[in-house]
Chain A
Amino acid sequence: MLSNIRKLVHRITLYAAAVGMFMLVIMMFLTTSDAISRKLFVPIPAAYELNQYMLAVFGLLGIAYVQQTRGHVSIGLLIERMPLRTQFVIGSIITFISVLVFSLVIWWGWVEGIFSMKAGTASDILRIPVFPFKLLVSVGAFLLVLELLLTLIDNIRNALSATSPDKEIEA
């Protein structure tokens, strides 16, 4: 059951990140074409604002994928000297705090997005509305919280199973 949920979550975050990576490829070709056509003919209008939006998709949708690959750098120097069980207990607490704060970000990202929608804020040239991209803060945080919940479950499970003292010595 849990392993199916885990697979599903990993797949969703990977696909979300893949959308962002696709945006990066477009950015690379769009910006090159803009640089060339600006020298030879005329600049591509709105390359600037398109890049900003695409960067938001690339970055915000990728945060959870980075968590999936444990790519957010951390310092394990001190904690790795502690008994295994303590490590997992601390890990659970740390992850729980992260889940709480990023859950608040889901909520407030939504509030800010809806606020921009009502205000009708849009980009300068193409008049693309800002709110869908602001809502990505909420979406990105939601995906991150899903990944963090998986990490939290792992930590709690490990903390519970590492209770017997011999296991600590083993590690």
Chain B
Amino acid sequence: MSPFVTGLVGTALMFVLIFLKMPISFSMLITGFLGILFLTNVEAALGSVALTLYRCFSDYALTVVPLFVLMGALANVSGISGETFQVAEKWLRRLPGGLAMATIAGCAAFASICGSNIATVATLGSVALPEMKKARYADSLATGSVAAGGTLGFLIPPSIGFVIYALLTEQSVGRLLIAGFFPGLLLAVLWMGSIIVSVRLNPGLAPVSLARVSWKERLYALRNLWAVILIFILVMGGIYLGMVTPTEAGAVGAVGLFLIALSKRRLTFHNFVDSLKETSRVTIMLFLIIAGALIFSYFLSLAQVPTVLLGWIADLEVSRYVILALIIFIYLLLGCIMDAGAMLILTMPIVYPIIRTCGFDPIWFGVICVIMMNAAMITPPVGVAVYVTTGVAKNVPMSTIFRGALPFLIAMVLVSAIVTVFPQVALFLPNFMR
């Protein structure tokens, strides 16, 4: 068997194991190990597994992941997500579908201090959904906006999606995080626009609210945003101005939110321990997938799979945008059945070299990838954000939530198209960085 064929057989074996419900991290690690064993010898195979595990788990660049996740967990404990919704609700309530728009705006604000998103869906949803039910919004719009809004945490910095991408592609974490800012904002605005359009087309979705909100009330509500603004300036301002590294920013943000949660008397020993446990679960699950992917891609490069594939791609007589569209299409498909983070890590060893060969900007492509990760969280049948929403919106069937999230999915594809035609949307800010 030639090395290349071994590589293909290994890849097929990995997918078989994944579909037999072996954890994704184990599948990559084990096929990677077997492949290296087949191509070299026992010592090399065992050595690369043990050493990669150590190197990956002691990689300083990865420190930022648990810190960002912990920020999100602490922000949830301190009840900030409910507050951001209430502020947005005061300002947007009277517009068509105003409460759904407020959900998106609240999620966007919360995403600016939170690196992962899933918990946001639960905490913000538990505040926003009863409000929308009271105002007799359609279930599909109400739950769809909560599920979609929750994915914004991955795009609007700080975001662990960008951290993982940066790690796998050896790009600057800081620049990637900054690059996500405008596309994230654009996505939130487009989502709000699509809510207005769908409510205009089908007024039954959201009855217009007649209750007036005075300007005094609106302005007074803004005071609740201090924590978000403070943490955002500390973390993203610090990174943008080059005052702190992303890891330091994560630590400062986590300490800041720890103190805010303490001052709001929300932090008990019990929920601090819960935050730490959640951080461990999310982070270590990702770390092991990254380690597995590193072992697996070492096997692939031994088998010369990337080299051969890139040779084929280079010989293809098609526009590079056709290849890009194909990659996006594959991501949308994979996103239907896979966890977002796992999807990114699994595909990067093959996709990234292709993207570089085609001459695309790596920072720009990071933004596209993270938007695809967002999409993966709301596409059926496997969509984490939808699952979590089901937990909050009892009595709403999952199919209704998936249907409600569909318009938001279309907007995501649109944003990818806009960012592709106008890469400046993503690259404008990072290009100004020192």
B-contacting residues of A (Cβ < 8 Å)? Answer: 17, 20-21, 24-25, 27-32, 34-35, 39, 48, 51-53, 55-56, 58-60, 62-63, 65-66, 69, 71-79, 90-91, 94, 97-98, 101, 104-105, 107-109, 111-112, 133-134, 136-137, 140-141
A109 neighbours in B (Cβ, 8 Å): 50, 53-54
In the bound assembly, the distance between CA atoms of A145 and B281 in angstroms comes to 17
| A74 touches which of B18, B46, B288 (Cβ 8 Å) | B18
Query: Which A residue's beta carbon lies closest to that of B256?
Result: A32
B342 neighbours in A (Cβ, 8 Å): 73
Whether a CB of chain A sits under 8 angstroms from the CB of B24 is yes
Query: Which A residue's beta carbon lies closest to that of B23?
Result: A72
> Which among A35, A55, A73, A101 has the highest number of chain B CB atoms within 10 Å?
A73
* With A66-B284, A73-B23, A76-B21: A32-B30 Cβ-Cβ less than 8 Å: no
In the bound assembly, the distance between CA atoms of A75 and B21 in angstroms comes to 5
In the bound assembly, the distance between CA atoms of A24 and B57 in angstroms comes to 13
Which residues of chain B from 1 to 29 have any CB-CB distance to chain A below 8 Å in the complex? 17-26, 29
Query: Which B residue's beta carbon lies closest to that of A93?
Result: B20
In the bound assembly, the distance between CA atoms of A52 and B63 in angstroms comes to 8
| B19 touches which of A60, A79, A133 (Cβ 8 Å) | A79
* With A31-B247, A94-B17, A137-B54: A55-B62 Cβ-Cβ less than 8 Å: yes
- Contact segment of B200-208, B272-280, B421-429: B272-280
In the bound assembly, the distance between CA atoms of A65 and B46 in angstroms comes to 23
Query: Which A residue's beta carbon lies closest to that of B281?
Result: A71
* With A24-B66, A98-B26: A112-B284 Cβ-Cβ less than 8 Å: no
Query: Which B residue's beta carbon lies closest to that of A31?
Result: B251
Query: Which B residue's beta carbon lies closest to that of A141?
Result: B53
In the bound assembly, the distance between CA atoms of A59 and B286 in angstroms comes to 10
Report yes or no: A28 in contact with B50, Cβ–Cβ below 8 A.
Answer: no
* With A27-B63, A31-B63, A63-B288: A20-B280 Cβ-Cβ less than 8 Å: yes
| B30 touches which of A55, A97, A111, A136 (Cβ 8 Å) | A97
